Amino acid sequence: MTAKSATATVCVIVGTWPSVSTTFIAQELVGLEREGLKLRIVSLRERKKMRHALHDQLTAQVHFLPRRLKRSPLRLLRARAKVGRLPGYAAARALFEQEIKRGRTPERVRLFRWAMILAAEIPPEVRLIYFHFISEPGTVGRYVALMTGLPLAGSAHARDIWTTSDREKREKLVAMRWVTTCNGPAVDDLRRCSDSPDKVHLIYHGLSLKRFPETPPNRALRDGRMDRDPVRFLSVGRAVEKKGFDIMLEALARLDSDLRWHWYHVGAGPLLEGLKRQAAKFGLADRITWRGAQDQATVIEHYRNCDLLVLPSKEGSDGDRDGLPNVLMEAQSQALACLATRFTAIPELIEHGETGVLVPPGDIGALKEALEQLARLPERRDKIGLAGYARVRRDFQAEEGISKIASLLREAMTS
pLDDT digits (tens, 9 = 90+) for 162-214: 999 999 999 999 999 999 999 999 999 999 999 999 999 999 989 999 889 99
Domain boundaries, the chain: 9-208+397-414, 212-395
Q: What is the dihedral of CA 307, 184, 171, 137, to 10 degrees?
A: 30
Fold category of 212-395 in CATH: Rossmann fold (3.40.50)
Question: Is the model's pLDDT at 5 over the cut of 50?
Answer: no
51 Cβ contact partners less than 8 Å away, ≥ 6 residues apart = 18, 20, 295
Residue 415's pLDDT band (boundaries 50, 70, 90)? Answer: confident
Residue type at position 298: T
Distance CA 130, CA 144 (A): 11
280 Cβ contact partners less than 8 Å away, ≥ 6 residues apart = none
pLDDT digits (tens, 9 = 90+) for 25-38: 999 999 999 999 99
The residue-averaged pLDDT of 146-158 equals: 96
- Whether 9-208+397-414 shares its CATH topology with 212-395 is answered yes
Phi-psi map region of 310: left, alpha, beta (phi>0 left; psi -120 to 50 alpha): beta
Q: How many CB atoms lie within 10 A of CB 45?
A: 13
Backbone angles phi, psi at 16, to 5 degrees: -145, 140
Q: How many CB atoms lie within 10 A of CB 215?
A: 8
pLDDT digits (tens, 9 = 90+) for 81-100: 999 999 999 999 999 999 99
The confidence score (pLDDT) of residue 2 equals: 40
Residue 103's pLDDT band (boundaries 50, 70, 90)? Answer: confident
Backbone angles phi, psi at 133, to 5 degrees: 95, 125
- Check: CB of residue 284 under 8 Å from CB of residue 262: no
pLDDT digits (tens, 9 = 90+) for 105-122: 888 999 999 999 999 999
Considering the four listed CATH numbers 1.10.1840.10, 3.40.50.2000, 2.60.120.260, 3.60.15.10, the one that applies to the domain covering 9-208+397-414 is 3.40.50.2000
Residue in 180, 152, 168 with CA at minimum distance from that of residue 24: 180
> CB burial class (10 A; 0-12, 13-18, 19+) of residue 156?
buried
pTM of the model: 0.87
Question: Is the model's pLDDT at 104 over the cut of 80?
Answer: no
Q: Check whether the bond before 18 is cis (ω within 30° of 0).
A: yes
Residue 20's pLDDT band (boundaries 50, 70, 90)? Answer: confident
Strands ordered across the beta sheet of 357-359:
288-292, 261-266, 231-236, 308-311, 338-341, 357-359
Question: CA 349, 322, 178, 412 torsion: positive or negative?
Answer: negative
Residue 6's pLDDT band (boundaries 50, 70, 90)? Answer: low
- Residues constituting the chain: 415
Residue in 297, 293, 307 with CA at minimum distance from that of residue 236: 293
Question: CA 382, 386, 392, 393 torsion: positive or negative?
Answer: positive
Distance CA 40, CA 28 (A): 14
Distance CA 227, CA 207 (A): 36
Residue 72's pLDDT band (boundaries 50, 70, 90)? Answer: confident
Residue in 331, 217, 206, 321 with CA at minimum distance from that of residue 264: 331
- Check: CB of residue 310 under 8 Å from CB of residue 371: yes
The confidence score (pLDDT) of residue 154 equals: 98
Residue 4's pLDDT band (boundaries 50, 70, 90)? Answer: very low
Residue type at position 270: P
Distance CA 154, CA 215 (A): 35
Question: Is the model's pLDDT at 49 over the cut of 90?
Answer: no
- Check: CB of residue 323 under 8 Å from CB of residue 340: no
Q: Hey, is 164 helix, strand or coil?
A: coil
Question: CA 231, 359, 388, 310 torsion: positive or negative?
Answer: negative
Question: Is the model's pLDDT at 3 over the cut of 50?
Answer: no
* Mean pLDDT over each residue of the chain, to the nearest integer: 94
Backbone angles phi, psi at 378, to 5 degrees: -60, -30
Q: Hey, is 44 helix, strand or coil?
A: strand
Residue in 294, 292, 296, 288 with CA at minimum distance from that of residue 269: 292
pLDDT digits (tens, 9 = 90+) for 225-250: 999 999 999 999 999 999 999 999 99
